[in-house]
């Protein structure tokens, strides 16, 4: 047996060559980072939860006609996806103010946006993923005008799907970030939702209590990140009862 080829090791995931050309295996690590990797930790079980949750969201999006890179989950930590050329943008949708928009514009966290706001950050760790406008995107050729129309439509469809799903289990979708991939088919290209959708990339607040159930728990030291993500998975019925993300030895009589 030859060892499969590692394509990329990121902060949260490692990518391996998939079994067929044009496929990739995403391995979800337990590493958590924030503030452009200034804060780091290993959170046991996070990779398993994000793998299961991303599968759940991507499958649901596919079922309502939103194209994604997802093919199938392989095991507790890995999923098979279509290999894409990633558009170098983080596409953010905000329903309520939180995080950087609150700081930038002095809006209190939790304030409802007049309508969903779509923002773009240029994916460049060395620059700290700076906020950019459609002018920069067009001028520097990161995406065409047609791409941008498709990207906004995709982002808003993801927002409708995810916010409805979350509302149904008592969770407010405050904001989220997605990445978009290009898949080439002959002379054509298709844009799909790529990377991951998980509590690492969304802000999720309990509707009743306001409790944070996303990566802000780690960023702001608000308690156990695994407990928060497990709560999301449980409410959505994603975690199989017997599959504890943190596997401890069990005593067998």
Ligand X SMILES: Nc1ncnc2c1ncn2[C@@H]1O[C@H](COP(=O)(O)OP(=O)(O)OP(=O)(O)O)[C@@H](O)[C@H]1O
Question: Which residue number, 81 or 92, has a Cβ lying nearer to ligand X?
Answer: 81
Nearer Cβ to ligand X (11/235):
11
Give the Cα separation of 64 and 16 in Å (integer). Answer: 29
CB of 52 to ligand X, least distance (A): 16
Give the residue with the Cβ less far from ligand X, 61 or 84.
Answer: 84
Minimal distance, residue 181 CB to ligand X, in Å: 5
Distance CA 11, CA 29 (A): 8
Closest CB to ligand X among 81 and 233? 81
Give the nearest distance from C-beta 117 to ligand X in angstroms. 22
Question: Measuring CA to CA, how many Å separate 176 from each of 96, 119, 120, 144, 204?
Answer: 10, 10, 12, 23, 9
CB of 222 to ligand X, least distance (A): 22
* Beta-carbon contacts of residue 1 (< 8 Å; ≥ 6 apart): none
**Residues in touch with ligand X (CB under 6 A):** 8, 10-13, 15, 24, 69, 81-84, 86, 123, 125, 179, 181, 194-195
Is the Cβ of residue 17 or residue 160 nearer to ligand X in the bound state? 17
195 contacts 86 by C-beta, under 8 angstroms = yes
**Beta carbon of residue 37, minimum distance to ligand X (angstroms, whole number):** 8
Query: Residue 8 or 140: which CB sits closer to ligand X?
Result: 8
**Greatest CA separation found in the chain?**
68
- CB closer to ligand X, 11 vs 219: 11
How far apart are CB 55 and ligand X at their closest, in Å? Answer: 13
239: tokens are: 């975690």
The answer for residues whose C-beta is within 8 angstroms of residue 23's C-beta and 6 or more apart is 71, 80, 81, 82, 83
Cβ 183 to ligand X shortest distance, Å: 9
């Amino acid at each position: 047996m030859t060892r499969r080829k590692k394509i990329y090791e990121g902060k949260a995931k490692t990518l391996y060559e998939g079994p067929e050309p044009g496929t990739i295996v995403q391995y979800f690590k337990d590493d958590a980072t924030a503030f452009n990797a200034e804060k780091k930790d290993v959170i046991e079980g996070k990779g398993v939860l994000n793998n299961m949750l991303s599968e759940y969201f991507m499958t649901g999006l596919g079922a309502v006609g939103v194209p994604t890179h997802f093919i199938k989950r392989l095991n507790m930590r890995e999923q098979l996806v279509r290999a894409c050329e990633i558009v170098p943008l983080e596409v953010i949708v905000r329903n309520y103010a939180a995080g950087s928009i609150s700081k930038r514009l002095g809006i209190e966290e939790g304030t409802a946006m007049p309508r969903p706001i779509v923002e773009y950050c240029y994916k460049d760790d060395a620059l700290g993923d700076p906020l950019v406008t459609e002018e920069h995107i067009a001028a520097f050729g990161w995406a065409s005008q047609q791409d941008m129309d498709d990207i906004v439509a995709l982002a808003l469809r993801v927002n409708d799907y995810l916010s409805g799903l979350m509302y149904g289990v008592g969770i407010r979708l405050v904001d989220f970030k997605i990445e978009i991939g290009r898949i080439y088919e002959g002379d054509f290209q298709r844009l799909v939702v790529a990377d991951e959708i998980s509590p690492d990339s969304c802000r999720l607040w309990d509707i009743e209590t306001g409790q944070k159930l996303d990566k802000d728990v780690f960023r702001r030291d608000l308690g156990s990140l695994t407990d928060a993500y497990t709560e999301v998975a449980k409410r959505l019925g994603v975690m199989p009862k017997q599959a504890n993300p943190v596997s401890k030895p069990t005593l067998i009589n």
